[in-house]
Amino acid sequence: MTQVRTRFAPSPTGFMHLGGLRTALYCYLFTKKNKGKFILRIEDTDQDRYVEGAVEVIYDTLKGCGILWDEGPDIGGPVAPYVQSERKDTYLPYAKELIRKGHAYYCFCTKDELQERREAAEKRGETWKYDKHCLHLSQDEINAKLDSGMPYVVRQNTPTEGESDFDDLVYGHISAPNETLDDMVLIKADGMPTYNFANVIDDHLMGITHVIRGMEYLSSTPKYNLLYKALDWPVPEYIHLPTVMRDSKNKLSKRDGDAYYSDFIKKGYLTEALINYLALVGWNPGDEREFFTMDELIEAFSVEGLSKSPAIFDISKLTWFNAEYIRRLPPEKYLKMATPWFNEALSGLEIDYHRLAELMQGRTEVFNRIPEMISFLKERPEFDTALYENKKQKSSLESAGPALNLSKNLLLAVDNWTEENIHQALIGGIKEAGLKNGTVLWPLRIALSGLLSTPGGAIEIAYLLGREETMKRLDSAIRELP
């Protein structure tokens, strides 16, 4: 049985798009499930879009996500090189073979000529595709143009009759009338192959058995298959993946900050949560499980579970996943990850980060939300005294004054400012006064934080603030009462 060989072939044009990352993930899962080889190939034929440092971004992103390749530019392999620009001399001989067989031809049309003919077709209400103008040149005309150094591209000579069809493991049988297929460029004027040509040549030479990619390439696949057949090469199996969408109408976009892996990592999403959720965007394991390690994803993955419909990347669902992953972090790891966010909000303060982390871990959904949640520790926001009203806690605006004064007197008596001593002083004093805990602790928490919702209650907040700040805020709150 032939060993499964797949490839992930990103272009180094910037950050890793979530759609591309999911393609890499599915490709990796499929390959490892089938004990195959996963290949990383850099497709940099479009030099105008090349971004310096983007290759390193690809490496770092995949490694950070646990998607490790068996062959690639940095580790080599039996079919190196794995960077298309380093394979430049590979492609033209195959283009010339296609020309000899009549499946491709030289095209000398200039951009201006093409634009003029395109506009003329549009005026006639026609959909423009290349009109095979240069296919009809005689060999003498072609030779004269080549000898004169006239710039040219090589175009595929697609048939104008019949149909081209293929089978996709997700979308089933696909058929396209040949008359709708364009004579796409194979070799550009700079001598570089187009993606459309290079991916066919490289996939064959690298022994790729299964091509896994986004469904945006579904319509181009008949043209690719014509090239395989023209070169007498076996056609690989195809697995086209549903598009990743932000909602039913919109794709993920850079402008909205939800298109790239790095966008989410900077916000404080965990890679493990993102990969786990991304695996479920367009794939169903066939049972009720939602949480998977990478090894469990490999074991569970199947092509049959892939959806044909566009897949919605629900950020709310991702956030839920992320919160669950954060809750499962070892406390010390959470503290380490949260500390930079604590520092952002609390610079210059002496706060017990260990205790703050204990209070925050179960409330953290995304790390970048931490500063806003704890900023009250640095400066209490202004608040409406109506917040003292809470029927459940048996607290009212009228009872708040006596309650805050009681809290002040009880806290003034605390010698050693520990959370345990604060707790004993307040709870003991409240009991002795014959009051309900909520009647005193609710207005105390409001007075210290200015917020309805906080990590921890009045006792924990008083401990974190320290004696001086606690008493300062209490005095201020008492003065502000009507």
Starting at the edge strand found earlier in the chain, the sheet holding 185-187 runs 104-107, 153-156, 185-187
Could you give the maximum distance between any two Cα atoms of the chain, in Å? Answer: 110
Crossing angle of helices 88-101 and 221-230, rounded to 10°: 80
Q: Which residues sit opposite 72 in a β-bridge? A: 76
Other Cβ atoms closer than 10 A to 481: 15
Helix ranges (H only) for 188-240 are 195-205, 221-230
Q: What is the DSSP letter of 162?
A: S
286: left (phi over 0), alpha (psi -120 to 50) or beta: left
Which residues are within 8 A (CB) of 21 and not within 5 positions of it... i.e. 6 or more apart?
61, 65, 261, 278
User: Is 254 one of the catalytic residues?
Assistant: yes
Distance CA 481, CA 233 (A): 85
Q: With DSSP H G I counted as helix, E B as strand and the rest as coil, what are the percentages for the chain, rounded to 5?
A: 50, 10, 35
Instruction: Phi first, then psi: give them for residue 413, nearest 5 degrees.
Output: -85, -5
Q: Enumerate the β-bridge partners of residue 37.
A: 5
Both structure tokens of 384: 């409406």
C-alpha to C-alpha distance for 284 and 302, rounded to whole angstroms:
9
Query: Of the listed 63, 101, 229, 254, which one is catalytic?
Result: 254
Place of tokens 């300062």: 472
- Tell me the CA distances in angstroms from 473 to 239, 346, 413, 427, one per residue in order: 63, 17, 17, 20
| DSSP 8-state class, residue 351 | -
Strands 104-107 and 172-177: unpaired
Q: What is the C-alpha to C-alpha distance for residues 431 and 172, in angstroms, rounded to an integer?
A: 73
Known catalytic residues are 254
